[in-house]
Amino acid sequence: MALVRLRHILAVDDEATRIAATALTAHAAASTEGFQRIVETVETWFEKYQTHLAGPRAFSALTDPTYGVLDTLVSAAQAAPAVRDFLINGWMQTLRQPDVRDDAHQVLLGWARAAHEGRLDRTATFGILTDVRNAHTPLDAMSRFLYGSPDQDDHALIEARLALADLRACSHTQCSEPHCPLKETAGSLPDTSAVGGTGESRS
């Protein structure tokens, strides 16, 4: 899979970007090895290309409930602190990019609706979003999600706001991400398969 080419395609918002996002999520959903490889690749994009839109767009696709990878991410985050840190850091990086503001807000709404409908574990989902809220100065998509707008007042969103208001800040003592926004510790993404791949492939 040519992840380098996908990174370049994801820099521009067009039909090719949506095709690339679908390919990325399909690879992540295909196997444990593919899931780990895509998570590690997107982490690398965030670290090496901090102003590039490929990381935020890839993250938005991976965490969009309509692509079918989010439930795997949320489940893995409950057992692996590094995956949870990937979600928290990924949200922080994505929320900083005004060019993906609307997409980020739609994904946040998707999380709220999936939790409301029982498609995602409610405690785990809102726990992750609470960590994002605690680590992020509320701006743009997160601010709109937390505090509302006249056209977004459905029951799932109201439930999400109430849940985030009730949950206390997480101490995040188990964080293993070396650049974790909440705690600086050493660590890496745990191996979730017998055979793993890391980084981008140029083939």
Averaged pLDDT, groups of 10, the chain, 203 residues long:
84 90 94 95 94 94 94 95 95 91 92 93 92 69 60 69 60 47 41 46 46
- The b-or-e profile of 50-80 (16+ CB within 10 A means b, else e) is eebbbbbbbbbbbbbbebebbebbbebbeeb
* CA–CA distance, 89 with 3 (Å, rounded to integer): 21
d(CA 61, CA 25): 7
pTM of the model: 0.70
Token match 């295909």: residue? 30
Nearest to 176, CA basis, from 185, 167, 168: 185
Q: Using one digit for the tens of pLDDT, what is the confidence trace for 119-152?
A: 999 999 999 998 888 776 555 556 666 656 545 5
